[in-house]
Amino acid sequence: MTSLVGKSSISLSRIAIYAVLILVCVLYLVPLVVMLLTSFKTPEDIGTGNLLSWPAVVTAIGWVKAWDTVDGYFWNSIKITVPAVLLSTGIGALNGYVLSMWRFRGSQAFFGLLLFGCFLPFQTVLLPMSFTLGKMGLASTTTGLVFVHVVYGLAFTTLFFRNYYVSVPDALVKAARLDGAGFFTIFAKIILPMSTPIVMVCLIWQFTQIWNDFLFGVVFSSGDSQPITVALNNLVNTSTGVKEYNVDMAAAMIAGLPTLLVYVVAGKYFVRGLTAGAVKG
Amino acid sequence: MSSVAVFSKASPFDALQRWLPKLVLAPSMFIVLVGFYGYIFWTFVLSFTNSTFLPSYKWAGLDQYVRLFNNDRWWVASKNLAVFGGMFIAISLVIGVLLAIFLDQRIRREGVIRTIYLYPMALSMIVTGTAWKWLLNPGLGLDKMLRDWGWEGFRLDWLVNPDRVVYCLVIAAVWQASGFIMAMFLAGLRGVDQSIVRAAQIDGASLPTIYWKVVLPSLRPVFFSAVMILAHIAIKSFDLVAAMTAGGPGYSSDLPAMFMYSFTFSRGQMGMGSASAILMLGAILAILVPYLYSELRTKRND
């Protein structure tokens, strides 16, 4: 669908199209610009100026205060996200490998059951999971959150790898099996080396999901084990003391920067994950 | 021949190889059966008990569902979900489709523009909610800015207005998700068969007619997927409400996910909270089942 408009078309309609596209770009960028501008203002400046006015004095005081408030929670998020992403991706890769190349009776039915997990409203599992975490002694720990994220991340990670491996020719694996290569040898020597794109997609998808999670964080953690999203929400929605919007916005930027950074650096894989996960899910 | 030969040698190694796939999948199977279906059943059971702060397994029949339906706050939350979901889906679709069509006209710098449309999707709903709460702040946000810019009579107090607050959620959610819908439709447009479009052009059809009559109808599957995803996001919306309004003013911007959380975990109404979770599952199934059904049918027809 590229050539619907004629070739020599510096026409009015083309100018209109560009105008709309650029206007929408500006509108989409406004919240980010406002957050940045506000985060570098002084509280007095916020009262006298407006959302898009340039800071009278550019100051990093908001960022310093925000970081002092949320730094511990930022590290919590890293402690939760990194192991959960790696584990769920690894297990997803092995599951996808079995479900596409080592099918057995019942494995397809299992895949169907698993797929529903992509749509599962987590509200239906919160209470039993909190009882379970309590029994396991993992209530209100970052380890508990890692466990929860691995469990409920499996549906998507398995789906990614299974759909990717399904298109790998069977002959490749059959030949290796005839040569006497075993289950893990084939996985390590043949399958993994060709998996880079889907590993990227899966890592980025899981990173964004887990870093941005709020529901599990607010239900399964408390106090010192909370992730950054919960800390940000607590900071913004406390009704005590004078509201410092510059601190709020700086904290929001701190919470958003890791995923934004990943998006800017590896946007290609992010979009592919969204569409693969969402459309096929 | 050769494969028969390989499998007839039943050395311990071969036996292990035959069991390995099952062994590898077993933990995940256990997790799915217990952590997905077992837990849903557990919540289902709890919704038929009189559990309050702690789980109790005293059978209470449909009491919790009756209480739920007699609860004004649940009705507000459900009505809000209908309004929020309906508007969020419709507006995101319209914006997404239009942007995709515009972007499909051999636009220079398409990559940069796409990146800008899609970046909100990388953010947490908590960050989005925080940002929009500030933008919509009555007195300091857009409210003040437009007055500063000369629109003297401008007032924007939706965030504290019980009749309007749900629109604030719609605005923030559309900002976050519409770029993603654009990306879905753009991918769909790139896959449309050029020869059909050429034929319509030769017939003298105008560009808008071609899109409306030929191109968009061929994107029906993308359309269904998009509705499915947006509805799913709407029903699960919890973080956005938590960050923007916490359900307020009063409980005027409550959504079912928020209702479930506060009744289950802060108000000690575990039974009723579970009942609300089961109804949310019902809502998801009500859109998921027809979707999967039509998906499977088209696949069989292909």
In DSSP notation, B62-96 reads THHHHHHHT-HHHHHHHHHHHHHHHHHHHHHHHHH
A26: Cβ contacts below 8 Å, ≥ 6 apart: none
Cα A235 to chain centroid, rounded? 22
Token look-up 């995940």 returns B28
Q: State the average pLDDT over residues B274-289.
A: 93
pLDDT, position B299: 65
Percent of chain B whose predicted confidence (pLDDT) is above 70:
95
Average pLDDT over residues B252-271: 93
The residue type at B6 = V
Question: What residues of chain A lie within 8 A of the CB of B145, using their CB?
Answer: 50-52
Selected residue of A127, A236, A260 to mutate for chain B interface (largest B Cβ count, 10 A):
A127
Interface-testing mutation among A119, A208, A222, with chain B (most B C-beta atoms within 10 A): A119
Q: What residues of chain B lie within 8 A of the CB of A158, using their CB?
A: 28
Sign of the alpha-carbon dihedral angle for A215, A221, A226, A232? positive
Looking at per-residue pLDDT, the higher value among B105 and A36 belongs to A36
Which superfamily does CATH assign the domain made up of B72-301 to? MetI-like (1.10.3720.10)
C-alpha distances in Å from residue B117, one per residue of A26, A28, B110 = 10, 6, 11
Distant-in-sequence, close-in-space partners of B221: CB < 8 Å, separation ≥ 6: B188, B298
Q: Per the structure block, which two tokens stand in for A115?
A: 């797929």
Cis peptide before B249 (omega within 30 of 0): yes
Rounded to a whole number of angstroms, the distance from the CA of A164 to the nearest CA of chain B is 18
Kindly list the residues from chain B whose CB atom is less than 8 angstroms away from the CB atom of residue A122: 236
Cβ atoms of A125 and B35 closer than 8 Å: yes
Mean pLDDT in order along chain A per 10 residues (281 residues) = 50 89 95 95 88 90 94 96 97 95 90 90 95 93 96 94 89 86 90 92 93 96 93 87 89 96 86 63 35
Within 60-119 of B, beta carbons closer than 8 Å to A belong to: 99, 102-107, 113, 115-119
Task: Express each pLDDT in B36-63 by its tens digit.
Answer: 999 999 999 999 998 888 888 888 889 9
Q: Where in chain B is the domain with CATH 1.10.3720.10?
A: 72-301
3-state secondary structure of B104: coil
Using the Cβ of B180 and the Cβ atoms of chain A, whether some distance falls under 8 Å is answered with: yes
- Estimate to the nearest angstrom the gap between the alpha carbon of B253 and the chain centroid: 18
Which residues in chain A have their CB less than 8 angstroms from residue B123's CB? 212, 256, 259-260
Global pTM value? 0.90
Q: What is the mean pLDDT of residues B244-256?
A: 91
Q: Which tokens belong to B271?
A: 């039974």
Comparing CA positions, the residue from B27, B23, B188 lying closest to residue B93 is B188
Say which amino acid occupies A163.
Answer: N
pLDDT of residue A281: 35
The predicted pLDDT at position B3 comes to 44
Would you place residue B301 in the very low, low, confident or very high pLDDT band (cuts 50, 70, 90)? low
Give the residues across from B49 on adjacent strands. B59
CB pairs under 8 A between A and B: 272
Contacts of B243 (CB under 8 A, 6+ apart): A214, A232, A233, A236, A237, B125, B126, B127, B128, B129, B130, B133
List B residues 206-245 in contact with A (Cβ-Cβ < 8 A).
207, 210-211, 215, 222, 225, 229, 232, 235-236, 238-239, 242-243
Q: What is the largest CA-CA distance in chain B?
A: 88
Q: What is the mean pLDDT of residues B76-94?
A: 96
Q: What was the pLDDT predicted at B56?
A: 84
Contact A199, B206 (CB under 8 A): no
pLDDT-derived band at B208 (thresholds 50, 70, 90) equals confident
Task: Give Cβ neighbours of residue A120 (< 8 Å, ≥ 6 apart).
Answer: A152, A155, B36, B40, B284
Name the closest residue on chain A to residue B186, using Cα atoms.
A1
Identify the pLDDT of residue B201: 84
**Domains in chain A with CATH codes:** 1-59 (no CATH), 63-279 (1.10.3720.10)
- Which pLDDT belongs to residue B214? 87
Residue A2: predicted pLDDT: 46
Q: Do A215 and B239 touch (CB under 8 A)?
A: yes
Burial annotation B241-262 (CB, 10 A radius, 16+ → b, else e): bbbbbbbeeebbbbbbbbbbbb
Q: What is the pLDDT of residues B147-188, one digit of tens each?
A: 888 888 888 889 988 999 999 999 999 999 999 999 999 989
Q: What does the angle CA A199 – CA A200 – CA A201 come to, to the nearest 5 degrees?
A: 90
